[in-house]
């Protein structure tokens, strides 16, 4: 099987169709940014992780060029990363201190500020799909825990098959998150994020990922943002929303992102973000050692990187 076919399989059948194409005055501008998590020390970042995220960006970029809306683009990307078993999200999520997986995810539309989030799901195949179902089929923004999981099952979220979570019971010390930001040809932004959280976390712990405005945010007037890192600090700073507001106020996506990360770093809260505006401008700064990320647009060929420069707000050593 080719890697492109593997990506298509991991997406679980999400294809460009009349259901997610758009009818508007389209431009040629579009962009997709992805991340596979921040890294802090000596994590073993593999060639498979880097090539998968680059080729996924290329694939979703083609979909955006064909008219896919931004929300569908970020869901497709994150759903593929969840299913790939290459990152700390979905299938390869790390476990809590009791040895089982708890997944968090969220998604947001920059066009109308509609959003959906799920937290502490233990047996849902695609948390990001569950979050989208909450966004589009319920009157709520966030549902969590066993009762929330029962609710998303009623909405159509698929249960994970036996053996789906490949790291169940693992004690491997690693962190990370996956996320996506997109600009579609109607000029709309969207963001999505999914994670298994911190290893050995207390059962029931929620980080920034399901908190709209902390780990995920999108507003056409500002920016689309997906975060990864020390979730408690992203919550305390409302980091994703703060970044979008700074872009709305006139800062570039790089300046806005670095400003928020630097404020967090002063309190020893470290992490990274990917940020995209309606001009297609993209940034992936970090106060950790780096961030796995990829980008593609109407005028930029798909690439992936392990880092994006110096650590924001820290001595680079």
For the annotated catalytic residues, the residue numbers are: 177
Q: What are the tokens at 283?
A: 């940034």
- Buried/exposed 1-39: b ≥16 CB within 10 Å, e otherwise: eeeeeebbebbeebebeeebeeeeeeeebbbbbbbbbbb
Q: What are the tokens at 286?
A: 């970090």
User: What whole-number distance in Å separates Cα of residue 130 and Cα of residue 111?
Assistant: 20
């Amino acid at each position: 099987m080719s890697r492109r076919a593997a990506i298509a399989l991991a997406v679980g059948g999400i294809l460009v169709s009349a259901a997610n194409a758009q009818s508007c005055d389209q431009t040629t501008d579009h962009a997709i940014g992805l991340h596979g998590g921040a890294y802090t020390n000596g994590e073993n970042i593999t060639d498979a992780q880097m090539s998968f995220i680059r080729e996924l960006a290329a694939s979703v970029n083609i979909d955006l060029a064909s008219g896919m809306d931004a929300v569908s683009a970020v869901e497709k990307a994150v759903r593929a990363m969840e299913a790939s078993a290459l990152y700390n999200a979905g299938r390869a999520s790390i476990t809590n201190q009791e040895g089982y997986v708890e997944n968090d995810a969220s998604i947001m539309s920059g066009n109308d500020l509609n959003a959906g989030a799920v937290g502490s799901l233990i047996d849902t195949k695609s948390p990001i799909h569950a979050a989208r179902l909450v966004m589009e089929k319920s009157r709520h923004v966030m549902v969590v825990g066993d009762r929330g999981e029962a609710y998303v099952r009623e909405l159509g979220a698929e249960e994970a098959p036996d053996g789906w979570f490949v790291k169940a019971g693992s004690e491997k010390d690693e962190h990370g998150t996956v996320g996506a930001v997109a600009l579609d040809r109607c000029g709309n932004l969207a963001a999505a994020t999914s994670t298994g959280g911190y290893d050995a976390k207390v059962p029931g712990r929620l980080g920034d990922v399901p908190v709209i405005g902390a780990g995920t945010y999108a507003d056409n007037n500002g920016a689309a943002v997906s975060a990864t890192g020390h979730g408690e600090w992203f919550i305390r700073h409302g980091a994703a929303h703060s970044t979008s507001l700074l872009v709305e106020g006139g800062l570039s996506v790089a300046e806005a992102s670095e400003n928020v990360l630097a404020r967090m770093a002063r309190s020893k809260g470290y992490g990274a973000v990917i940020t995209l505006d309606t001009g297609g401008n993209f940034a992936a700064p970090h106060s950790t050692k780096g961030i796995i990320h990829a980008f593609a647009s109407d005028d930029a060929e798909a690439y992936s990187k392990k880092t994006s420069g110096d650590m924001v707000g820290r001595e680079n050593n």
